[in-house]
Amino acid sequence: MVSPPRTTAVHLDAAAEPLHPAARDVLLAALDEGWADPLALHTAGRRARLLLDNAREVIAVLLDSRPDELSFTASGTAAVHSALLGTAEGRRRVGTTVVHSAVEHSSVLHAAGWLSRHGGTAVSLPVDRLGRVDTELYAAAVRAGGVAVACLQLANSEVGTVQPVESVAQLCAEHGVPLLVDAAGAVGRVDVPGGWSLLSASARRWGGPAGVGVRLVRKGVRWREPGPADDRGFVNVAAAAAAAAALQAVSAERAEVAARQWQLVTRIREQVAATVPDVEVVGDPELRLPHVVTFSCLYVEGEALVGELDRRGFAVASGSACTASTLEPSHVLAAMGVTTHGNVRVSLPRDVTEADVEAFLAVLPGVVAGLRDRVGM
Amino acid sequence: MSDQPSPDQPSPDRPSLVLDCRGKRCPLPVVELARRLDDVAVGQVLAVVADDPAARVDIPAWCRMRGQEYVGAGAAPDHDDGVPAYLVRRVS
């Protein structure tokens, strides 16, 4: 008999989770208060300006930076693009090479690809089975000279592995190469180490609204606006204010939330390996984000797995090729050399409960077995 | 001759079984591989001809997980269509 679809979905895909309640309250208030052009000189404009300056200050301080080093962008992707291309532009006399790991977010890969089609060189560094870049390889690439900018994510959002950002920042500093740290997906989850020259992040990923990216450029870094320099863009003041409120709230709750998520992910890692045959749980089990776990089940189609889990009331993501419009598997899983089919990515939202996770773990082995039956495995 | 392995291919890696998985999407090439590996003797090589981009990653990873030897990728022995053949030696 076919079990009926569950009515209440368990959301295990925190790449997008509902707006943090604190951010929602601020957003609604700021829509009424901060609708004017923050560059206008009248009262309504000054009111918007005050909200925007406050948001900038709150986020900068929480990221261990200064308000005048922070710019709001239209997305995390836009922050990465402008950080990377602007540094390449500012340092074109030093070199035209961009160094990055093979598991960076697609926004980094796309910007690096764009540079290499416009006279630059992109150097992609391999990662180990856990998805971590090798510090020695990174050092060699930076030592080679002619490097305009190096880029490394704080942690991988797909598999959770935390990168050796502190060591890489140190060796970049030794060679005078600015390091762009892509902190999207890690801000509000783990400590952000210092030593970066540029930093990009995305408010949506810390419980803020979509459409707010953050770009930090340290004083002294040679950075130029790529494309036409234009500071008259109308920032979404209400969304920026909500992003600041969300970061404040998640930073205050972080110790408690991260500890709970860490335990639940440990439980998922252990149980999946124990109850699902022919499965590989990937990513670093220890040096990882608190809330992300990815595993691949042999002989199962990722799309079917996501669909079947969704029908049972569990929303998960997947890095399998059949879940992407391009039919290319996740570049992260491919770089790690782990199977890309039958892939499930679980990322826990802040309000996930132990009961949610146990319910997921209870249905998973049967779902996988059922899908394997269909192909006779 | 198109049905012979290329002459520069070392003979121990000559496949004794070729699975044509053209047009099959993940995970079907891996399912076929798992199903048919027992059809070759231990020490012999099986070729999976697959145009699915995921096979490039998934076949070596399957070998690692299942303790079989991934020999490498070459041109498909039967057609000259540029589709890769992934070679797997049965170890156990």
Using the predicted structure, report yes or no on whether residue A26 has a pLDDT greater than 70.
yes
Mutate to test the interface with B, among A276, A282, A305, A340 (most CBs of B within 10 A): A340
Cis ω before B53 (30° cut-off from 0): no
Contact flag B27-A278 (C-beta cutoff 8 Å): no
Using the predicted structure, report yes or no on whether residue B9 has a pLDDT greater than 90.
no
- Give the pLDDT band of residue B1 (cuts 50, 70, 90): very low
Task: Tell me which chain A residues have a C-beta less than 8 angstroms from the C-beta of B58.
Answer: 329, 339-341
Classified as helix, coil or strand, A99 is: strand
Residues A305, A344: contact at Cβ < 8 Å?
Answer: yes
Q: How far is A288 from chain B (nearest CA, A)?
A: 22
Structure tokens, A261: 């998520």
Contact flag A299-B31 (C-beta cutoff 8 Å): yes
Task: Tell me which chain A residues have a C-beta less than 8 angstroms from the C-beta of B57.
Answer: 329, 333-334, 337-340
b/e map A166-191, b = 16+ CB within 10 Å = eebbebbeeeebbbbbbbbbbbbbbe
- Give the pLDDT band of residue B82 (cuts 50, 70, 90): confident
Average pLDDT value over all residues in chain B: 88
- Give the pLDDT band of residue B26 (cuts 50, 70, 90): confident
Contact flag A301-B35 (C-beta cutoff 8 Å): no
Contact flag A322-B25 (C-beta cutoff 8 Å): yes
Contact flag A375-B26 (C-beta cutoff 8 Å): no
| Residue B65: predicted pLDDT | 96
Using the predicted structure, report yes or no on whether residue A174 has a pLDDT greater than 90.
yes
Q: For chain B, give me the number of helices (H) and strands (E)?
A: 2, 4
Q: How far is B43 from chain A (nearest CA, A)?
A: 23
Query: Model-level pTM?
Result: 0.93
Task: Tell me which chain B residues have a C-beta less than 8 angstroms from the C-beta of A301.
Answer: 25-27
A369: how many CB neighbours lie within 10 A of its CB? Answer: 14
Q: What's the pLDDT tens digit per position in A120-139?
A: 999 999 999 999 999 999 99
Using the predicted structure, report yes or no on whether residue A331 has a pLDDT greater than 90.
yes
- Give the pLDDT band of residue B3 (cuts 50, 70, 90): very low
Q: What's the pLDDT tens digit per position in A72-101?
A: 999 999 999 999 999 999 999 999 999 999
Summarize the confidence of residues A276-284 as an average pLDDT. 97
Using the predicted structure, report yes or no on whether residue A361 has a pLDDT greater than 60.
yes
- Clarify whether B21 is annotated catalytic: no
Task: Tell me which chain B residues have a C-beta less than 8 angstroms from the C-beta of A278.
Answer: 65
Q: How far is B62 from chain A (nearest CA, A)?
A: 7
Residue of B nearest to A342 (CA): B27
Q: What's the pLDDT tens digit per position in A244-261?
A: 999 999 999 999 999 999
Task: Tell me which chain A residues have a C-beta less than 8 angstroms from the C-beta of B27.
Answer: 298-301, 341-342, 375
- How far apart are alpha carbons A93 and A16 in whole angstroms? 40
Using the predicted structure, report yes or no on whether residue A46 has a pLDDT greater than 90.
yes
Summarize the confidence of residues A213-227 as an average pLDDT. 95
Phi, psi for A5 (deg, rounded to 5):
-60, 140
Summarize the confidence of residues A209-219 as an average pLDDT. 96
Identity of the residue numbered A276: V
Q: In the sheet that A279-282 helps form, which strands lie side by side, from edge to edge?
A: A279-282, A292-297, A343-347
Cα-to-chain-centroid distance, residue A27: 22
- Give the pLDDT band of residue A328 (cuts 50, 70, 90): confident
Using the predicted structure, report yes or no on whether residue B5 has a pLDDT greater than 80.
no
Contact flag B65-A301 (C-beta cutoff 8 Å): no
| Residue B72: predicted pLDDT | 96
Contact flag A299-B64 (C-beta cutoff 8 Å): no
| Residue A301: predicted pLDDT | 93
Average pLDDT value over all residues in chain A: 94
Q: Is the ipTM of this complex over 0.95?
A: no
Classified as helix, coil or strand, A139 is: helix
